[in-house]
Amino acid sequence: MSLLKIENIVKTFHAHTPDAHQALNHLSLTVEAGDFITLVGGNGAGKSTLLNAIAGTFTVDEGIIYLHNEDITYLDETSRASHIARVFQEPRQGTAPRMTVAENLALAQHRGEKRRFRRSITATDRQKFSEALETFNLDLENRLDAEIGLLSGGQRQAISLLMATLKQPELLLLDEHTAALDPRTDKQILSLSDQIIREQNLTGIMITHNLQDAIDYGNRMLVLHQGQLVREFSGAEKKALTPTDLYTYLEEVQS
């Protein structure tokens, strides 16, 4: 049984106006449990729109989205949060900058649950958070009481990644989550992402504009163009690709 199944979804923005734009055009996709998929394509190809549709940021105009064979097409983002987690491009998204590291992690620990006015952070929680952060080698285990907004972009993104995976989501969406980082930190966060996905046996979908990363990471790579999936690379074919090969193919698709 597939983890995620998308059937002929359509999304048009500004419908029935001169600015109408069909961002998803009868797109279908099946994701098996344990897949780590990279998404590539030009600007406006529909990559982030696809992740938004999966996350429930908006309702698609047509088509059906199944999670574990359950129709979630009309479930809102909050209702999907206990199953689907996301890390955004901007390190400030997904965190509360005026709250401490520990407070942010405590919120993530109860993602998808009914909210109470206030939850206390126990000594056990702090120990759990500290041990998890220590594996990142960013000295974050000693910053539990620091406000998120005072940390570097790389540190915030590492915490966002931990927040997204603290409850081992069924599906992890990585929306260009290293694009705003410097090259060294980019590689560090990508490596952490890959490590977490493998060690927790998660299913992930990652958007990236870095063609080498799209080739190096994951077991499947999908090419989007004008809201449609136009090509998949996997197995030996994916491993044999070079960034030049992929760039040439993307140029041909867009011409």
> SS in 3 state form for 97-123?
CCCEHHHHHHHHHCCCCCCCCCCCCCH
Boundary (domain end) residue, out of 151, 168, 185: 168
Check if the beta carbon of residue 207 is closer than 8 Å to that of residue 174. Answer: yes
Strand 70-71, strand 62-67: pairing: antiparallel
Segment 73-99, tens digit of pLDDT: 999 999 999 899 999 988 778 788 899
Q: Which of 168, 197, 231 is the last residue before a domain boundary?
A: 168
Residues 6+ apart with CB under 8 A from 44: 23, 226
pLDDT digits (tens, 9 = 90+) for 162-205: 999 998 999 999 999 999 888 988 999 999 999 999 999 999 99
Q: Could you tell me the residue range of the domain that residue 255 belongs to?
A: 1-83+171-255
What is the reported pLDDT for 119? 62
Helix (H) or strand (E) holding 231: strand 228-234
In a domain, 181, yes or no: yes
pTM of the model: 0.93
Tell which of 168, 188, 211 closes a domain.
Answer: 168
Distances (CA, A) of 229 to 6, 13, 149, 219, 225: 12, 19, 38, 16, 7
